[in-house]
Amino acid sequence: MKKLLLTATLGIAMIAPASAQDWDWSGGRPGSRDYRLAGAGVRLLHPQLSRTNRGRAFVMRNFDRNRDGLVSPREADAANRAFERFAGPRRDRFDWESRDSGWQRPGPRAGGWDRGAMRAYGFRQTERGATMRMEDSVLFATDSAVLRPGASAKLETLAAYLRDNPGVRVAIEGHTDSRGTDAHNDALSLRRADAVRAAFDEMGVTRARFTVRGLGESQPIASNDTPQGMRQNRRVEVTLLGRRASEF
Same domain, 85 and 168: no
Q: Output the CA torsion 70→72→76→79 (10° steps).
A: -70
Distance, C-alpha 101 to centroid of its chain: 26
Query: What are the C-alpha distances in Å from 80 to residues 71, 74, 158, 194, 203?
Result: 12, 10, 28, 30, 21
Assign 22 a pLDDT band (cuts: 50, 70, 90). Answer: low
- 3-class SS letters over 211-230: EEEECCCCCCCCCCCCHHHH
User: To the nearest 5 percent, what fractions of the chain are helix, strand and coil?
Assistant: 40, 15, 45
Please tell me whether residues 91 and 131 are part of one structural domain. no
Co-location of 127 and 196 in the same domain? yes
Residue 122 maps to a domain: yes
Contacts of 71 (CB under 8 A, 6+ apart): 37, 38, 39, 40, 41, 42, 45, 59, 60, 63, 64, 79
The half-sphere exposure of 191 on its side-chain side, counting CA atoms within 13 A, is 12
CB contact at 8 A, 175 and 222: no
Give the residue-averaged pLDDT of 191-202.
Answer: 89
Residues 33 and 144 placed together within one structural domain of the fold: no
Q: Is residue 108 part of a domain?
A: no
* 51 and 173 both lie in a single domain: no
| CATH code where residue 187 lies | 3.30.1330.60
Within-domain flag for 106 = no
- Tens of pLDDT, residues 79-133: 888 888 777 777 788 777 766 654 444 444 445 678 888 988 999 999 999 999 9
- Determine the average pLDDT of the residues in 202-212: 87
> Could you tell me if residue 56 is inside a domain?
yes
Domain residue limits at 179: 115-247
Please state the rounded mean pLDDT for residues 219-223: 94
Indicate if 70 and 131 belong to the same structural domain: no
Give residues with Cβ within 8 angstroms of 140, minimum separation 6. 146, 147, 148, 151, 192, 195
125 domain residue, yes or no: yes
**pLDDT score at 88:** 76
Q: What is the pTM of this model?
A: 0.57
Name the average pLDDT for the chain.
Answer: 81
Quick one: 45 and 127 in the same domain?
no
Which is more confidently placed, 149 or 119?
119
Check whether residue 88 and residue 55 sit in a common domain.
yes
Same domain for 31 and 75, yes or no, is yes
What local confidence, expressed as pLDDT, does residue 50 receive? 93
Q: Is residue 40 part of a domain?
A: yes
Closest CA to 5 of 71, 81, 57: 81
Are 86 and 192 within one domain? Answer: no
> End of a domain among 100, 125, 149?
100
Q: Which of 100, 124, 140 is the last residue of a domain?
A: 100
Which one of 100, 127, 157 terminates a domain?
100
Return all residues near 170 (Cβ < 8 A) that are at least 6 apart. 162, 200, 209, 210, 211, 238, 239, 240, 241
**H-helix or E-strand spanning residue 88:** none
Q: How many domains does the chain have?
A: 2
Task: State the pLDDT at residue 86.
Answer: 76
178 part of a folded domain? yes
Q: What is the 3 state secondary structure string of 183-195?
A: HHHHHHHHHHHHH
